Amino acid sequence: KAGVTQTPRYLIKTRGQQVTLSCSPISGHRSVSWYQQTPGQGLQFLFEYFSETQRNKGNFPGRFSGRQFSNSRSEMNVSTLELGDSALYLCASSPPSVRGLTEAFFGQGTRLTVV
């Protein structure tokens, strides 16, 4: 079955602009999480959505937002881009589990460069 699909793979934006990234989870997965990866900070959790509701949020400013649609596809938006927002943005989906999430399946990521 198809894996987690993120689009676009690469993006170049100018400071002050906004950007929207898209993530299609594995079929049947209802939980989608977003992460930011930079050389300095490593992989950091942004937020997690389940059934169109944000369940958890990491320590990022309000410029970072997201949403999830009824088909579980998710988008994240970054407004007023800063140079420091240049990063690999990763999306992960997780299967339903009685105990909670078990494992996360990551996409290939979107490489965002802010100039």
Residues found near another protein in the complex (CB under 8 A): 4, 31, 33, 35, 42-48, 55-56, 58, 90, 92, 94, 97, 99-109
Find the largest Cα–Cα distance for the chain: 44
CA distances from 75 to 21, 41, 100 (A): 5, 22, 23
- Which H helix or E strand runs over 21? strand 19-24
Minimum distance of another protein from residue 110's CB (angstroms): 10
Identity of the residue, 17 or 48, whose beta carbon is nearer to another protein in the bound complex: 48
Minimum distance of another protein from residue 16's CB (angstroms): 28
